Amino acid sequence: MKILYSHRTEEEKNHVAKALSSFEMVFHDGSLQKGEKWDGKGIEIVSVFVDSILGKEEFEKMPDLKFIATRSTGFDHIDLKIAKKKGVIVSNVPTYGEHTVAEFTFALLLNLSRNILAANSRVVKEGSFSPNGLTGFDLFEKTIGVLGTGKIGKNVIKIAKGFGMNVIAFDAFPDTNFAKEQNFKYVTIDELIQTSDIISLHLPENKDTHHIINKEKILKMKKGVVIINTARGSLIDTAALVFGLEEKIISAAGLDVLSEEKYINDETQLLSNPHPNQDDLKTLLMNHYLIDRPKVIITPHTAFNTKEANQRIINTSIENIIKFEKGNPQNIVL
């Protein structure tokens, strides 16, 4: 079978070429929408990351396509209606970073609780070794509220228990057996908001979770609460977050995702628009305010990004392709 594979590094390309040596491989460097033109004739399998769009034009270029192996959990970049109409099977990588993202959650939290970035900056930029003004706080016996107890949220709870923290959680589908095993309790979202010293978000993005952290919720929070978001930017209303920081309700925030992060790398796309969306522009400017604010750490959606997690993504995708070729497809989303 002939495979079109969009790779990101030469190391990945070489690994995949070896693992799938029994297939006819056609490699494309990066997104299918960028770089050299590619020929889709005879392509039966395509494997892409989220930066490649598989829409009407791409499907038309691959009339023999039978299988899509996306190297991601999400599949919004694939037109599933067209795939279904053409009988194309789609598989994903359902999980690869449940430990990785949980660890990063605590990397952000520990940096904020102990002022590590500020301490390092003082030493590097000022040559000062004074600890004055760098007093932090213990995680021990603090209450962490975990919003969402999927695989990542569960690992966050396990780590929190290791620090001796009190854990409460909210989930639309609570896992009572896990709660009993880890000795924590599920509470209402309002109780979690009102009693947590730290709130960590691990929810999917949907109509029910959009701006689940808003001004109304922030007004109910304990003064000095710390917010950590390694899930989806739209879970937090940026304007409300800025309000919470200005009013000193929120003492610190660790954000691996932002509401309009897609614009951060290409602001001219928004700012040069003759009729810009005012809400998007306002959010963008507020994100810049957050970037420059002390006690706010912003990272570029990198919580998942370890060599182990990336390898799991590639290996699972390889397995998906081999299973499909053998007539036993796995991890099917369509």
On the 0-12 / 13-18 / 19+ scale of CB atoms within 10 A, 69 is buried
> Which residues are the active-site residues?
232, 261, 301
CA pair distance 277, 198, nearest whole angstrom: 33
Contact 218, 253 (CB under 8 A): no
Contact 110, 159 (CB under 8 A): no
Q: How many CB atoms lie within 10 A of CB 179?
A: 18
Contact 169, 149 (CB under 8 A): yes
Distances from the Cα of 281 to the Cα of 123, 212, 263, angstroms: 36, 21, 9
Contact 110, 116 (CB under 8 A): yes
CA pair distance 44, 56, nearest whole angstrom: 16
Residue 216's H or E segment, with its range, is helix 215-218
Contact 151, 98 (CB under 8 A): yes
DSSP calls for 153-205:
HHHHHHHHHHTT-EEEEE-SS--HHHHHHHT-EE--HHHHHHH-SEEEE----
